[in-house]
Amino acid sequence: LVKQDIHTILKKRLGLDDMFPTPDLIKWETLAHSLDRLQENKDVQGSIQQVSIAIVGKYNGLSDSYLSVTKALTHSAIHLQVDV
């Protein structure tokens, strides 16, 4: 999207005068590449540490009941390069 100059369009449309001329995507690219490596390592049996976590609660049957908890665990797993 940066190559398509979307940041300039958004900057003008939203009136973000203090925005940097070009976005710094280094952290985002690092995160994306680490997620790609994590996905690739999942395909190789035993090449990635697996962590099991039990969630005990009253509403386990409903998939959305503890969605924020499961999302937090997923994000932590990405950061730590483990499979949850």
DSSP 46: T
CB 19 within 8 A of CB 53: no
- In angstroms, the CA 39 to CA 18 distance is 37
- pTM of this prediction exceeds 0.75: no
Q: Which residues pair with 83 in a beta bridge?
A: 50
Residue 7, C-beta contacts closer than 8 angstroms, at least 6 positions apart: 1, 19, 22, 23
Predicted local distance difference test score (pLDDT) of residue 72: 92
Predicted local distance difference test score (pLDDT) of residue 81: 81
Chain-centre distance of CA 10, in angstroms?
23
Predicted local distance difference test score (pLDDT) of residue 1: 72
Tell me which residues of the chain have a pLDDT lower than 70: 43-47
The type of residue at 82 is V
